[in-house]
């Protein structure tokens, strides 16, 4: 199939596209299931690396996942684009990509929540915050109140407006598709006021009141990770990792200890968000804040996305913080630099100004809404819908129309989709290449007489980050130390005069350390380690010297005693 990243793929089509691409490039791409969703769909992860230069687990790796929230489907397109970019650019001879896949691995899970996404993209869409599993009421009981759905079968979930003298909304004077709030003084004389409701049906309508039950918001899989999880967080689930999608993802990442960086793809807002969701920056290691800032200074010019702390910049009420998020889990529990990318900023495209950091709470201003409406007529035609009459089975005559939010505010429209996600491939490669990497820089043997040899192994971390990745990981001792090992060819035991064949050598700094030394321009060698063995063996014996680290990879060389 041909796919130009200008539309959102349903699950079966996405799976077929991935497997076809993998079949065409078996030495670069494999696709496997790392678990099943609530409804039994395979959760797929793509592994991208040049397998001719080593197996995926022997190289430092970068993890990306997308579509944990049901309607945030732009992130899934970005994940697929990056997979395609890595494979096709490698084949085309792109030097940067060739080096990235020669020395690093990418793990990309493009659809963490296939059940929810499938409902969102259905011919008659049904929107969930995240999981489709009924929660906290397992029987799926529909409580009294409004339940959002496509009631007229046109494939859209719009807004219902009802003429109401007490309504809180009125038409924008310049554009009737845009509704603006009625202020304290009320509407001007003769201007109709409206009550706005999401398109849907009302359970147990009493003819006067319309409740909006919170329970249908349901499970939020991005509140189910085992980091600062709490029962007071909306949609957090029965317990940490109670949901198969999150349980499987956590196990998949933990099964790949070479993961050195983590990025979750969401929408919307046009932000790069970093931890913490529940702690002020004053409680994070200053070295980690410096690295987050440095990485952001590279990504922002590429993508236009500013970097924000979730707690410092996007938390409305700091007495009521978020817990159980994937990026917090990756930083807190894995000790890696983690990001949530919030794709797409409709306000920015329409006005050239970034969405304010409180847009998730207070929404756009009337001027911003109007600008997006006018912009949409050229770039996303049909996403602002003129009001039309509809005979609602419970409310009687209403009007449907307004914003088709899924395709203009929540996600990039098809005309912008590819251009929106493309720069993030470079961001992913850059952050993957920042990872630590063990290399052997010296390996020799010197005869001391009497079949005794001094064998030396010099190991270096040639990556930018330290082998612990973050200062947080170093402080909490999250990461195992690097190990060096000596063995005869074939694995026979080496006759050591002293010492052990397998030795822990600790952690090695990366080049980023030199930026944190006050600009003294005198680096030393915190990135290197030299280990020596004394062995007894005859001339001509071949020895295998190996250096390994759970994150920085594995390197080995063979020397001959001569």
Contacts of 266 (CB under 8 A, 6+ apart): 66, 68, 69, 72, 75, 222, 340, 341, 342, 343
Mark whether 507 and 426 lie in a shared domain.
no
**Residues 118/11, Cβ–Cβ less than 8 Å:** yes
- In a domain, residue 206? The reply is yes
* CATH, residue 525: 2.60.40.10
- In a domain, residue 278? The reply is yes
- In a domain, residue 356? The reply is no
- In a domain, residue 370? The reply is no
Mark whether 519 and 396 lie in a shared domain.
no
- Residue 74: which domain range? 11-122+218-344+413-433
* For the chain, percent of residues with pLDDT exceeding 70: 99
Between the CA of residue 75 and those of 33, 256, 430, what are the distances in Å? 19, 22, 18
Report the number of secondary-structure helices (H) and strands (E) in the chain: 15, 24
**Residues 509/466, Cβ–Cβ less than 8 Å:** yes
Mark whether 424 and 332 lie in a shared domain.
yes
Mark whether 426 and 490 lie in a shared domain.
no
User: What is the per-residue pLDDT across 45-100, written as a single tens digit (0 to 9) for each?
Assistant: 999 999 999 999 999 999 999 999 999 999 999 999 999 999 999 999 999 999 99
User: What is the per-residue pLDDT across 480-525, written as a single tens digit (0 to 9) for each?
Assistant: 999 999 999 887 778 999 889 999 999 999 999 998 876 667 889 9
Mark whether 37 and 109 lie in a shared domain.
yes
Question: What are the residues facing 483 on neighbouring strands?
Answer: 504, 548
Of 406, 423, 456, which residue sits at a domain end?
406
Count: domains in the chain:
3
Q: What is the pLDDT of residue 214?
A: 60
Mark whether 321 and 464 lie in a shared domain.
no
Mark whether 451 and 538 lie in a shared domain.
yes
Q: What is the pLDDT of residue 516?
A: 86
Mark whether 338 and 473 lie in a shared domain.
no
How far is residue 52's CA from residue 103's CA, in Å, rounded to a whole number? 11
- In a domain, residue 98? The reply is yes
**Residues 156/142, Cβ–Cβ less than 8 Å:** no
- In a domain, residue 508? The reply is yes
Give the CB-side neighbour count of residue 534, counting CA atoms within 13 A. Answer: 7
Mark whether 41 and 67 lie in a shared domain.
yes
**Residues 225/328, Cβ–Cβ less than 8 Å:** yes
When the pLDDT of each residue in the chain is averaged and rounded to a whole number, the result is 96
**Residues 155/44, Cβ–Cβ less than 8 Å:** no
Q: What is the pLDDT of residue 255?
A: 98
Mark whether 62 and 188 lie in a shared domain.
no
Angle CA(508)–CA(514)–CA(515) in degrees, nearest 5? 130
Q: What is the pLDDT of residue 1?
A: 80
Of 358, 388, 406, which residue sits at a domain end?
406
Mark whether 249 and 191 lie in a shared domain.
no
- In a domain, residue 355? The reply is no
User: What is the per-residue pLDDT across 136-166, written as a single tens digit (0 to 9) for each?
Assistant: 888 888 888 999 999 999 999 999 999 999 9
- In a domain, residue 81? The reply is yes
- Region 266-283 average pLDDT: 97
| pTM score, whole prediction | 0.96
How far is residue 416's CA from residue 412's CA, in Å, rounded to a whole number? 6
Mark whether 156 and 95 lie in a shared domain.
no
């Amino acid at each position: 199939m041909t796919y130009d990243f200008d539309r959102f793929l349903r699950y079966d089509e996405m799976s077929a596209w991935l497997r076809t691409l993998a079949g065409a490039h078996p030495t670069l791409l494999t696709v496997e299931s790392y678990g099943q969703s609530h409804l039994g769909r395979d959760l797929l992860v793509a592994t991208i690396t040049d397998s001719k230069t080593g197996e995926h687990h022997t190289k430092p790796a970068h993890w990306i996942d997308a579509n944990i929230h049901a309607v945030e489907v732009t992130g899934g397109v970005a994940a697929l684009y990056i997979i395609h970019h890595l494979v096709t650019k490698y084949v085309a001879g792109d030097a940067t990509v060739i080096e990235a896949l020669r020395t690093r691995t990418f793990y990309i899970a493009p659809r963490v929540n296939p059940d929810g996404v499938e409902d969102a993209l259905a011919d008659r869409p049904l929107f969930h915050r995240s999981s489709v599993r009924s929660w906290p009421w397992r029987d799926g009981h529909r409580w009294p109140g409004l339940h959002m759905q496509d009631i007229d079968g046109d494939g859209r979930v719009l807004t219902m407006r009802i003429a109401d003298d007490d309504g809180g909304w009125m038409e924008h004077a310049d554009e009737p598709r845009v509704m603006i709030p009625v202020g304290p003084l009320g509407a001007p004389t003769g201007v109709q006021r409206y009550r706005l409701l999401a398109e849907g049906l009302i359970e147990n309508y009493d003819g006067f009141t319309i409740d909006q039950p919170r329970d249908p918001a349901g499970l939020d899989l991005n509140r189910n990770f085992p980091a600062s999880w709490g029962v007071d967080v909306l949609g957090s689930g029965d317990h940490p990792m109670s949901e198969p999608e999150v349980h499987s993802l956590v196990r998949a990442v933990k099964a790949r200890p070479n993961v050195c960086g983590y990025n979750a793809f969401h929408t919307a807002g046009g932000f790069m968000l970093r931890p913490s969701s529940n702690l002020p920056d004053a409680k994070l290691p200053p070295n980690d804040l410096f690295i987050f800032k440095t990485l952001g200074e590279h990504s922002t010019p590429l993508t236009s996305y500013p970097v924000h702390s979730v707690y410092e910049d996007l938390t409305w009420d700091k007495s009521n913080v978020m817990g159980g998020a994937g990026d917090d889990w990756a930083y807190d529990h894995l000790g890696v630099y983690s990001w949530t990318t919030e794709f797409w900023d409709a306000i920015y495209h329409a006005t050239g100004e970034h969405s304010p950091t409180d847009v998730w709470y207070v929404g756009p201003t009337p001027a911003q809404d109007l600008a997006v409406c006018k912009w949409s007529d050229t770039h996303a035609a049909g996403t602002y819908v003129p009001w039309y009459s509809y005979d609602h089975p419970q409310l009687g005559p209403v009007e449907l129309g307004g914003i088709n939010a899924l395709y203009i505010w929540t996600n990039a429209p098809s005309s912008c989709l590819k251009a929106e996600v493309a720069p993030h491939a470079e961001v992913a490669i850059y952050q993957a290449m920042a990872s630590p990497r063990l290399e052997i820089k010296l390996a020799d043997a010197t005869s001391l007489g009497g079949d005794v040899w001094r064998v030396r192994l010099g190991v270096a971390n040639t990556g930018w980050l330290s082998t612990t990745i973050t200062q947080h990981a170093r402080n909490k001792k999250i990461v195992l130390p690097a190990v060096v090992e000596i063995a005869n060819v074939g694995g026979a035991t080496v006759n050591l005069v002293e010492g052990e064949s397998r030795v822990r050598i600790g952690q090695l700094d990366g080049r980023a350390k030199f930026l944190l030394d006050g600009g003294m321009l005198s680096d030393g060698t915190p990135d290197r380690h030299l280990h020596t063995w004394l062995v007894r063996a005859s001339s001509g014996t071949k020895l295998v010297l190996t250096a390994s680290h759970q994150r920085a990879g594995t390197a080995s060389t063979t020397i001959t005693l001569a």
